[in-house]
Structure 1
Amino acid sequence: MRVAVVHDWLSGPGGAEKVTRELVRLFHADIFALVDLLNDADRAWILGGQRARTTFIQNLPFARAHFRWYLPLFPKAIGSLDLRGYDLILSSSYAVAKGVRKRPGQVHVCYIHTPMRYAWVDQDGYLREHGMHSWKAWIIRRVMRRMRAWDTANSAHVDHFIANSANVRERVRRIYGREADVVLPPVDPNVFTLYNGPREGYLAVSRLVPYKRIDRIVAAFRDLPEQRLTIVGAGPEAQRLREMATPNVTFTGFLPQARLVERMQRARALICTANEDLGLTVLEAQACGTPVIALRQGGYLETVNEEHGGLLFSSDSPTDIRQAVLRHEERTRAPDPVRLRASVAPCFNDRFALRIHAIVNEVQSERSMPRTTADAP
C-alpha cells in the first residue's frame, strides 16, 4: 500500500513538523508540501533525507523568503498535487494541507493541528504579526473570506479527522461540523529525559512574535529582580523585548534541540502566555520533570499537570504572571519530576504510533482497504 503524507509548508522544525516526521517514518510515506525550504540538517531529521514533492509556489519569485505572499494561491496550489498513485493520504494540517484532491477509492485521514488560525481563530493577530495595515489588511480580510469558504467546502472531502487536542476537536466541530478523535502529538522520551538535579531560573521558549505575549513575561520579571528568566527563541519582536528587559532576563536566540533540552531540564519552571492550540513544549518540559506555569486558556487546560507542580494563572497581565511565580516559589511541597514525566507517558512516540495506526486501520476497514502495520518506535 502506498501512503502520501501532505504537510502545509516545510520551512523549519516545529511542533507540526514533529508530527509529520512520525507519520513519514511510521508509514514509509512519500512527503508532499506547498514548498520545501528545509536545510539539509532539518531535512535529514524531519524527512529522513527525502525531498518533498512541491507545488508551483516553490518556483515563484521570492518564494524562498516570502512564500506567504502567495497565500491567495495556496488552495489552487495544494489542489494541484498529484496523489493518484496513493492508496492512503495522511495530511498534517494547520492551514491548507487537508484540501488536497483525492480520487474515488482513496482514504484521507487528517491530523489537524488547528483550522487555519489566520482565517478562523486570530485574524487580527496574523495581520499585526505581518505588519499589515490599512489597504493591505483590507485585501487580506477579503482573501480570508474566500479562504474560509474554500476551507469549509474542502473539509467535507476528509474521511476522518484526528485532532491534536480536545481544544482543537471543539473547533473542528464548530467550524466544520465534523467529529474528530483526539491524539496528542508525540514526545520523544529518549530526547526529553528526566532530570532530578538542581534547578535555577525560569524559562520561556517561543517564537518572538506578538501573539505569543512574551512581553508580558518580560514585564513581570521587572518586579522579580531576585529571579532569573531565560528566553529561547527568535523573531521580529526580539529587539523590542531586549530593550524592555531588565538585567535578570537573558536572551539566547534559537538553540539546537540538545541545548534546549538542557535548559528545560535545569529550569525551575517553563512559563507560557500564548493562547495555544495545544502547546507541545509543555509536554516536552514535563517529560523532563519540569513544571509549567501557564495561562488558563486553550490547550494548556489539557496539558499542564497542576497535581504534580504545574500552575495556571487567570490572565496574561504581568501582575498575574508575577504572582504565579511567587506562588511557585512559596510552595510547601516541591514538584514531583517523576510523576510529571509519568503524566506525559501517553504521548510518548510508541503510544502515539499505536493510536494513529489503530485509527487509520479502523477507517480503512470501514472502506475495505488493506490494513497497515505499526513499525517499532
Structure 2
Amino acid sequence: MKVVLMHDWLTGFRGGERVLEVFCEMFPDAPLYTLIHKKGSTTKTIEDRKIVTSFLNYIPGIHTHYRKFLPLFPLAASMMNIEEDADLVISSSHCVIKGVKKPKGSKHISYIHSPMRYLYDQYDVYFGPHAPFYQRLGAKVFKNYLVNWDLESNKNVDVPIANAEFVKQRITKYYHIDSDVIHPFVDLKDFKANQKSPVDKEDFYIMVTAFAPNKRVDLAIKTFNKLGKNLKIIGSGQQEQELQEMAGPTIEFLGNLSRSEVVQYFAKAQALIFPGTEDFGITPLESLASGTPVIAYKIGGVLETLNENVAVFFNEQTVEDLSLAIKTFEDKEFVTQELYDRANEFSREHFKNNIQKLIDQVMKGKKNG
C-alpha cells in the first residue's frame, strides 16, 4: 500500500507530533508533506524520510514567526502538489494541511486535532481587546476568507477522525460533518522508572505548557501571586515576556527542558495546574503517569481523561475559583495507583491498534466519509 503523510508544520515536538510519530512508525517509507520544516526540531523517526515543504519554508525567519503568516497558509497548502501515487493519505491536521489535494484514486483519512480554535470558538481569546492592534485588524480582514477556505477544504477529506468527543462536537458544529473519535495517547514508557521508584514530593505546583492565550498561564500566575505558593512553569511561547513581567517571586520559569527533566519535575510536584480549554490534553495524563494529580478547568477534553479520583475541577476561569480548587486539593487524599491506572487506559499501543483497524476498514471499502 502506497501511503503519504501530511502535517501542518514541523517546528517542535508536542502532542500533535507524537501522533505523527506513530503514523511514521507505521509507514516508515511514506513521504511527509508539511508547510514548514525546521530541521532537527522533531524526532529521527519523523525526519528520517522524504520531507516536502511549501514555499513558506524559504521565507527568512519563518521557523520562529510562522504564526504571523497565517493568511498565507491556505495559499501554501493549495499550491502543494503530492508527487507520488498514493492509495492512502493520512493527515495530522489542526490548521490547513488537510486541504492539500489528494492524488487521484486515493483515500484521505484526516486525524483532526481541532478545527482552528482562533477562527471559531476561541476567536476572542486570541484576537480580543488584549491583542495588539495589528493582530486584531488582520484577523478581522482575513477571518471570512480563512473560514470559507477551511470549510471548502473538507471536501478533500474522505474520513475525518476527531481526537476527542469534545472535538467531534466542534467538527459537527463548525464543519457540519460527522466524525469518529480515536483518542491520542501518553508515552507511558517515559514514566515507568519513576513508578517503580517514586521520588518524594516537594513544595511546588507545576505547569507544562506553551505560552499561548488559550492555555491561561496568566490565570495561574495571578492565582499563585495571590496565594504566595510556589509554581514552576515549563515551556515557552508568544506570551513569554508578558507572563514573566506579571509573575511574583514564588513563580519560576524553567524554559524548555529535556524529556527526562520534565518527567522528574512532574514526579516531584504536588499537582499539575491546567487552567485552559483543551481539545484533549495529553499533559494531564503525563501528570497522572507521574503519580501527580491535576487541578483542571472543568471543560473540554479533560472531561474524557480525568475524573474526581485523579483530579480536582474548577468551574470558572477566575482567581477565586482556582484558589478554591487548590485549597480543596490540599484537603484531599489521592491513591497513587489510581493515577497510574487512569493513565494506562491511554497507551500508545492502544492508539496504534485503533488507527490500524480504521485503515483496514477504509481500504477494504467498509468505511467512507
Q: Please give the TM-score of this superposition, normalised by the length of structure 1.
A: 0.89
Structure 1 range deviating more: 197-206 or 42-51: 42-51
Deviations 1:258-307 (A, max 9, x none): 10011111111101111111111011111222111100111122122322
Q: 2:339 is matched with which residue? A: 340
Q: 2:207 is matched with which residue? A: 204
In 2, are the aligned partners of 1:232 and 1:252 still within 8 Å (CA)? yes
Give % identity.
32
Shift of 1:17: 0.9
In 1, are the aligned partners of 2:17 and 2:42 still within 8 Å (CA)? no
Is the partner of 1:101 in helix, strand or coil?
coil
> Within 1, Cα distance between the matches of 2:131 and 2:99?
27
In 2, are the aligned partners of 1:17 and 1:46 still within 8 Å (CA)? no
> Within 2, Cα distance between the matches of 1:43 and 1:130?
32
Q: 2:51 is matched with which residue? A: 52
Number of residue pairs aligned between Structure 1 and Structure 2: 362
Shift of 1:367: 6.8
Q: 1:242 is matched with which residue? A: 244
Q: How does 1:197-276 map onto structure 2 within 5 Å?
A: 197-200=199-202, 201-225=204-228, 227-276=229-278
**Alpha-carbon spacing, 1:356–1:219, altered in 2? closer, same or farther (3 Å):** same
Deviations 1:76-100 (A, max 9, x none): 2212333242211000000001111
> Within 1, Cα distance between the matches of 2:174 and 2:68?
25
**Alpha-carbon spacing, 1:126–1:219, altered in 2? closer, same or farther (3 Å):** closer
> Within 2, Cα distance between the matches of 1:70 and 1:237?
18
Q: How does 1:133-172 map onto structure 2 within 5 Å?
A: 133=133, 137-172=136-171
Say if 2:188 is the partner of 1:182: no
> Within 2, Cα distance between the matches of 1:238 and 1:104?
45
Q: 1:295 is matched with which residue? A: 297
Q: 1:31 is matched with which residue? A: 32
Uncovered stretches (5+) of structure 2, i.e. residues with no partner: none
In 1, are the aligned partners of 2:128 and 2:136 still within 8 Å (CA)? no
**Structure 2 residue identity aligned to 1:335:** F
Shift of 1:26: 1.4
Is the partner of 1:53 in helix, strand or coil?
strand
Deviations 1:293-343 (A, max 9, x none): 100111122122322x31110112111111111111111xx2122222211
> Within 2, Cα distance between the matches of 1:361 and 1:15?
25
Q: 1:119 is matched with which residue? A: 119
Structure 1 range deviating more: 120-129 or 158-167: 120-129
Q: 1:375 is matched with which residue? A: none
In 2, are the aligned partners of 1:24 and 1:30 still within 8 Å (CA)? no
In 2, are the aligned partners of 1:36 and 1:51 still within 8 Å (CA)? no
- Structure 1 vs Structure 2 CA RMSD: 2.3
Q: Please give the TM-score of this superposition, normalised by the length of structure 2.
A: 0.91
Deviations 1:316-374 (A, max 9, x none): 2111111111111111xx212222221122321111100000011111111799xxxxx
> Within 2, Cα distance between the matches of 1:184 and 1:147?
27
Q: 2:95 is matched with which residue? A: 95
Is the partner of 2:20 in helix, strand or coil?
helix
In 2, are the aligned partners of 1:346 and 1:352 still within 8 Å (CA)? no
In 1, are the aligned partners of 2:112 and 2:160 still within 8 Å (CA)? yes
Is the partner of 2:265 in helix, strand or coil?
helix
> Within 2, Cα distance between the matches of 1:51 and 1:141?
37
Is the partner of 1:351 in helix, strand or coil?
helix
**Alpha-carbon spacing, 1:43–1:310, altered in 2? closer, same or farther (3 Å):** closer
Q: 1:22 is matched with which residue? A: 22
In 1, are the aligned partners of 2:206 and 2:232 still within 8 Å (CA)? yes
Shift of 1:172: 0.9
Shift of 1:130: 10
> Within 2, Cα distance between the matches of 1:244 and 1:293?
22
Is the partner of 2:91 in helix, strand or coil?
strand
**Alpha-carbon spacing, 1:86–1:263, altered in 2? closer, same or farther (3 Å):** same
Is the partner of 1:75 in helix, strand or coil?
helix
